């Protein structure tokens, strides 16, 4: 290497660049999928709200007295 750049410096730069690209890609993927994740959470919340039984609180604990 005539320019003074060592092989260790090149390998270190490759490792750092790989880590930065990996973290940046994961962050971009998270931002891209965030609306779908929020939609899934909202759908589960609505389904749970619709499917809950409409029994008053005082009637839910009757089984322990049998």
pLDDT tier, 2 (very low <50, low <70, confident <90, very high otherwise): low
- Distance between CA atoms of 25 and 4, rounded to whole angstroms? 32
Domain regions of the chain by residue span: 7-58
pLDDT at 59: 59
Say what the pLDDT of residue 55 is.
65
The tens digit of pLDDT for each residue in 21-41 reads 999 999 999 999 999 999 999
Q: What is the mean pLDDT of residues 4-29?
A: 94
Predicted TM-score (pTM) of the model is: 0.52
Q: How far apart are CA 45 and CA 51, in angstroms?
A: 10
User: What is the distance between the alpha carbons of residues 50 and 60, in angstroms, rounded to a whole number?
Assistant: 18
């Amino acid at each position: 290497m005539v320019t003074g750049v060592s092989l260790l410096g090149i390998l270190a730069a490759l490792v750092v660049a790989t880590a930065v690209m990996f973290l940046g890609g994961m962050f971009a993927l998270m931002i891209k999928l965030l609306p779908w994740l929020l939609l899934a959470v909202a759908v589960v919340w609505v389904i749970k709200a619709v499917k809950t039984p409409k029994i008053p609180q005082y009637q839910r604990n009757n089984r322990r007295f049998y």
